[in-house]
Structure 1
Amino acid sequence: MSKKVDKIRRQLDAKRKKRSTSLHQRQRSAPQIYQQHDEAREHDDVVIPPSAPKGKNNTESKQPLIRKDILLLQMMGSICLFLIVGILFQNPSPTFDSARDFIYRSMTTEFEFDTIAHWYEDQFGRPLALVPPTTNVALDQTDEPNVDYAYAVPASGTVSESFDQNGRGIFVETSKGSQVEAVKSGVVQFVGQDEEEEGIGKTVVVQHYDGGESWYGSLGDIDVNVHDHVETGDIVGTTSKTNGDREVYYFALKEDETFIDPLDVISFD
């Protein structure tokens, strides 16, 4: 009889221990609630979930876009360089003549973008354009299947000397004081007297972005400079040769190092 009583007592003790253990675990997993002072009772109590780590910032620190130490070094280097250049130009010593000449040439000489562009195309090919260049199409020339590129009209007029007669370009007779416009976008490569062709006088050569060149000669006033970027329709100069109320200008087109007949791609009427 006493053995049965001891067995029942041990079973009750085991159930009591199991119940107390589960209760303790539930209390540990419950969120901690910190009560506030009486003067802040109108606000809700602060609840900290048990999974949140204490004393740590959950947001990851992001790397700054500009590091302050590198920016400071760059500023100090720029200031030092500025002071060195100022000392070179303020010091009349002939020892620094070569350095002064180099700095002066570097700051006053125009950068030849067209030369770099030619080198880049020779080495790596033509760059891919995100936006295709706009091209003004010459009138009455868009239906010809053999025309690869169409050009704008530099200045309307009548052809007085054809490509067959000149061998390199044409002369166009137009009204007095006419403005000669660029036929295609590009970079001004040459401004001055054309020594290869007699009777052309002041000449402007524009190298097109998509290859080729356009030549504008017999100009009176020139409105562009070397390395200027011109768009289709920009004024490069005005005519100069006077023949009564009419004037003449020279025009030539060059594709793949060869002059072509402008009348094949442009209508001057």
Structure 2
Amino acid sequence: MEQRSGIKGRRQERIRSLLDEQPEAAPLPLYELNEDTASFREWAQQPERREHAHEPDPEKLWKQSRGGWMHEGDGGDGGRPRFTGGFVRRTIASVLVFGAVWGIFMAREPWAVRAQSFITDALSNDMDFAAARVWYETHFEGAPSFIPIFGEDEIPAEKVSASHNLSAPLEGDILRSFADTLYGVEIMPSADSSGSVTVKSVDTGRVLSVSKEAQGGIRIVIRHTGSLTAEYGHLTGTRLSADDWVESGDTVGWMQETENNAAPLLFFAVMKDKTYIDPAEVVSFD
């Protein structure tokens, strides 16, 4: 205990000696208020202190100075964009012009007839660019590049019709004409055809359907070029299916002799714009 008390005493003496060696610090200066300075309560009670001045929006001021956003003279509250005002004015002007033109055409007065003629000519006839063309040629020695129609002679359009002959589906003779059926013809193969007879496509096209006939044969409908649709009927067999593509001369199917050795007949029909036409008009069977 005596040893601890001695250590504690020496520490206290050391601290006192260090404090005695430090110079005395100068007192901090106090802020002196003017005699006319009001107290905080008096300052808060002043009306000009309580009411802060309205600070304008800097972004709004910038847009107004640019002249492209708000109406001139707007104080900053409730301003409307210029687009709305301009749109309303243009709409009103359009309605007034339309009403005036409608009234002119409804009137039966002599002056109204002349006005009607002028409006009709202005809306239906092409503008005469002859004067503008002469002015450009005089000052610029040619037509402007952004209006290439000046100085060009109009060439009338010519209708070009190219004949497109379809090949026959097989070699043979027409046994039943279009006048008998009013929707197709029946073709008998040539005499030298024996056994299986191949039926060919008359033109390029896409297979629309492959179906069974009531008599047991196969009928194939192909959409060809030139808005033509051809039907190949009484077929014995085929390797085509819907959505297949065929070229002119490709095999559509084949026909075989019947059980009584009768010659097979090909039913062939052509439809143009949903109307059956005589196949002899578009296909040469000679």
Classify the TM-score, shorter chain.
Answer: 0.3 to 0.5
* TM-score normalised by structure 1 residue count: 0.41
Q: Which has the higher contact order (CA 8 A, sep 6+)?
A: 1
> Greater CA radius of gyration, 1 or 2?
2
* Structure showing the higher strand proportion among its residues: 1
* TM-score normalised by structure 2 residue count: 0.39
